Structure 1
Amino acid sequence: MTVRVPFRAVPLDLEDVQYDYGPDSSPRPGVPAGETIELRLDDSTVFPGTSRKVWIHVPAAYDPAEPAGLTVFQDGWWYLDPEGDVRGGIVLDNLVHHGEIPVTIGVFVDPGVFEDRDDPDERKNRNAEYDAADDRYATFLLTEVIPEVRRRYTVSDDPDRWGIAGGSCGGNCSFTVAWHLPDRFRRVLCFLSSFAQMPDGNPYPALLAGTPRKPLRIFLQAGHRDSGWDEPEHNWLAENLRVAAALAETGYDFRLVLGDGGHSPNHAGVLLPDALRWLWRTAR
C-alpha cells in the first residue's frame, strides 16, 4: 500500500532546527494518565559506590492478570519529564490507550552518581556505564533494576515485548545492551548515538559484519549536524551511518531516520511515538 506523506519544506539552515511535536507527545483528551513510582537504588553490585533514581511508569490499561511488556529508557528523568523534550510516560499512555502498542511499562533509569565525591565531574558515572562495550550495564539492568520492577508488576517473559531506548551515550548503551542480551531485549531505540566516543572506538560495524544476525529490530536516528559532522575523527553522524550501513548489509530489520539540527533531543522526542509504533508493528 502506498503511503502518502504531506509536503514539508526542507529547511535551508541545517543548524538551528526545531521540530514540532505531534499529538501523542501531549496529554490527549480521554486518555487516563498512568501511575509513576520513584525508587532509589544504592549499593550497586555491578557499579559499586553508585546511587541512582529509577522511575517506573505504568499505563492505566495495565492489568496484573496480563503480563505487560517493558521498555527501559536511559537518562531516566530526562526521558520521562512531562515538560521535557521526550515525554516518554505521556507517549506510552497515549499509544497504549489507543491500542497502537501492547501494554508496556516504562522503566526510566538515571545514570549512577558517587554521592561521596565533591568534584561534579567525578560524581558522574554516566560515561563509564553508557560508553563501555562490555556487558556490565546489561547485567546491571537484568540483575538489579528489572527485579525491582517484577517485584511490583507482572512482566512478560517474551523478549519481543522488551525494549531498550536511549539517546547520545544512552543510544550506544541501548545498542550494547541488546547486543549482549538479544534473548531479553529485542526492540532497540537509539537516538543520536555516541558510537564515536566509545573508549576503544565504534565496534559495531565490524561486529555486525562478523556475527550471525541476532533477532533484533532497531530504530536509529541521526542528525546531519551532530557533533563533529564534518570532522575526520569523532564524527557522530558518520559513526551512526556506519552502523546503519552494517545493519543494512547484514539484513537486519532496522530503520534509520535522518534529521536536521545538532546534538539535541528535540527530534528524538518528536519521533518517539512513531518509533515505538514501528518497533512493535506486527509485520516486518
Structure 2
Amino acid sequence: MATRVPYRPLPIDQTDVVYDHGPDSVRREGVPAGETVELRIDDSHVYPGTSRTVWVHVPAGYDPAEPATLMVFNDGWWYLDPEGDIRGAIVLDNLVHAGEIPVTIGVFVDPGIFADREDPDTRKNRNIEYDAFDDRYVGFLLDEVMPLVTARWAVSDDPDRWGICGGSSGGNGAFTAAWQRPDRFRRVVAFLSSFAQMPGGNPYPALLPTVPRKALRVFLQAGHRDLNWHEPQANWFAENLRTAAALAETGHDVRLVLGDGGHSANHGGVLLPDALRWVWSGAVDEGGAA
C-alpha cells in the first residue's frame, strides 16, 4: 500500500525556515516519563584533563530481565533538554511507550571541558573529540562511558541494537564512531554533519569505495542553507551530499533527508522520531543491506 504524504508548499526563501515539532516530540498524556540519572566523568584516560557530565535516560518500560537497546547521543544536555530542539528523552519515552521502537536506553554524553581554563576557545574539547578521524572518541565511549552504564542497567550486547546520534560536529563524530567500531555501533543518526571541517578534509567519499561494505544503517539530514552552502570549499551541504552518495554507491543502508534553513538543530530535532523508527526498523545483515 502506498504511503500518502500531505501536501506542503515549499518555502521560497530557503534560509529562515523553522519546522514545527510533531506529537512525538512533546510530553503526551498517559505516557509515563522515564528516569534520568546524572553521572560524572572527571578523570578521563583518553582525554586527560577533561571532565564532563553524562545523563542516562531509562524509559518506564525498561525491564532489567530484558536487555535494552542503546542509543548514545553526542552533545548530551543539548540533545536531552526538554525545552530544546531535540528533546531526546521525551522522544524515547513516547516511541517506546507506543511500541514503535524497542525499549531504548539513551546515554547523553557531554563533550569534555578543561575546567581549569578560562579561555572559552581552549576550554572546550568538543571539536577535538568529534571532528577527528580516529578511534579515540569511540574508545572513550566503550572504555569509560559504557562501563558506567552497564554496571547499573542491562544493555544488549548485540551491535545491531547499539546506535549513536549527533549533529554538526557531533554528527560526523557519530558516523566516525560507528565507522571505526561497527562491531559495537551499527545504527547512526547524523544531522547537519560537519564533515567539511574534519582535519585533512572529509575522508569518506574517497574512502568508501576502497573498503568492504560495513553493516551500518545511516540516517543523514542535510540543510540547503548550511554553512558555506554556495562555496567551492568547506561546504557543509555538499560534503553531506557527497558522503550520502558514497554510502549509496557502495550499497550501504542509508537514508538522506534534505531540508531548508541554516546550520540549526531545528530540522534534525523534528526528524528525530522518524529517524529512530527508521534505524531500528528491521536488522542489517553482514553485507549492509536491510
| Band the TM-score falls in, shorter-chain normalisation | over 0.9
Give the equivalent residue in structure 2 for 1:280. Answer: 280
CA distance in 1, matches of 2:138, 2:85: 25
CA distance in 2, matches of 1:68, 1:54: 18
Give the equivalent residue in structure 1 for 2:200. Answer: 200
Deviation at 1:134, TM superposition (A): 0.4
Give the equivalent residue in structure 1 for 2:106. Answer: 106
Deviation at 1:282, TM superposition (A): 2.0
Deviation at 1:241, TM superposition (A): 0.3
Give the equivalent residue in structure 2 for 1:181. Answer: 181
SS in 2 for 1:7: coil
CA distance in 2, matches of 1:183, 1:33: 31
Q: C-alpha root-mean-square deviation of aligned residues, in Å?
A: 0.7
User: Deviations 1:4-54 (Å, cap 9, x if unpaired)?
Assistant: 110000000100000011000001111000000101101100000000000
User: Deviations 1:74-104 (Å, cap 9, x if unpaired)?
Assistant: 0000000000000000000000001000000
User: Which ranges of structure 1 fall in alignment gaps of 5 or more residues?
Assistant: none
Give the equivalent residue in structure 2 for 1:162. Answer: 162
Give the equivalent residue in structure 1 for 2:81. Answer: 81
Give the equivalent residue in structure 1 for 2:60. Answer: 60
CA distance in 2, matches of 1:107, 1:47: 19
Give the equivalent residue in structure 2 for 1:32. Answer: 32
Aligned letter for 2:214? K
Aligned letter for 1:26? V
Deviation at 1:57, TM superposition (A): 0.2
CA distance in 2, matches of 1:269, 1:201: 27
SS in 2 for 1:38: strand
Give the equivalent residue in structure 2 for 1:140. Answer: 140
SS in 2 for 1:221: strand
SS in 2 for 1:183: coil
CA distance in 2, matches of 1:143, 1:83: 31
CA distance in 2, matches of 1:37, 1:244: 35
Counting only pairs closer than 5 Å after superposition, residues 225-236 of structure 1 correspond to structure 2 as 225-236=225-236
Give the equivalent residue in structure 2 for 1:245. Answer: 245
SS in 1 for 2:101: coil
CA distance in 1, matches of 2:282, 2:259: 26
Give the equivalent residue in structure 1 for 2:70. Answer: 70
CA distance in 2, matches of 1:118, 1:36: 30
Counting only pairs closer than 5 Å after superposition, residues 89-104 of structure 1 correspond to structure 2 as 89-104=89-104
- Runs of 4+ in structure 1 off by over 2 angstroms are none
User: Which ranges of structure 2 fall in alignment gaps of 5 or more residues?
Assistant: 284-289
SS in 2 for 1:137: helix
SS in 2 for 1:152: coil
CA distance in 2, matches of 1:226, 1:99: 34
SS in 2 for 1:36: strand
Deviation at 1:207, TM superposition (A): 1.4
Counting only pairs closer than 5 Å after superposition, residues 208-223 of structure 1 correspond to structure 2 as 208-223=208-223
- Aligned length, in residue pairs: 284
CA distance in 1, matches of 2:137, 2:268: 23
CA distance in 2, matches of 1:207, 1:31: 44
Give the equivalent residue in structure 2 for 1:151. Answer: 151
> Normalised by the size of structure 2, how large is the TM-score?
0.97
Over the matched positions of the two proteins, sequence identity in percent amounts to 75
